[in-house]
């Protein structure tokens, strides 16, 4: 293993090209969640009225809502990653421009900024 001395090798193009993947996958997961909710809600409560079934129904509905909530959180997480990657790429470009500007102001051979 060679150590090039690089701490971080960020390529803005890589970040920008990866960010849309998170958006696309969040949309797919959101669509799947919508279909799941619509399908399960469309089934109604087809389990009947006896005591054992009512216990099942209470547990089932609670777990259904928990799964829906967790999936919605995952959708938001993917959207957040997409936005953060775009912001990070933009910040990286701005930082590079700032650093380039600092060096452009320095006089060669004098070791300082003007």
pLDDT along the chain (114 residues), means of 10: 59 82 94 94 82 84 93 94 83 66 63 52
Listed by start position, the domains of the chain span: 15-81
Q: How many CB atoms sit inside 10 A of residue 101's CB?
A: 9
Overall residue count recorded for the chain in this entry: 114
**Distance between CA 15 and CA 87 in Å, rounded?**
10
Q: What is the pLDDT of residue 52?
A: 80
Q: What is the pLDDT of residue 19?
A: 86
**Distance between CA 22 and CA 84 in Å, rounded?**
10
Structure tokens at 92: 């990286």
**Distance between CA 23 and CA 80 in Å, rounded?**
9
Q: What is the pLDDT of residue 93?
A: 60
Q: What is the pLDDT of residue 28?
A: 97
């Amino acid at each position: 293993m060679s150590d090039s001395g690089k701490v971080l090798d960020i390529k803005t193009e890589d970040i920008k090209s990866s960010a849309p993947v998170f958006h696309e996958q969040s949309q797919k997961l959101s669509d799947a969640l919508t279909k799941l909710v619509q399908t399960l809600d469309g089934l109604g409560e087809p389990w009947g009225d006896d005591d054992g079934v009512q216990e099942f129904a209470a547990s089932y509905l609670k777990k259904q809502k928990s799964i829906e909530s967790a999936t919605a959180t995952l959708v938001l997480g993917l959207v957040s990653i997409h936005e953060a990657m775009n912001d990070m790429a933009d910040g990286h470009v701005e930082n590079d421009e700032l650093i380039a500007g600092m060096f452009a102001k320095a006089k060669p051979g004098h070791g300082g900024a003007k």
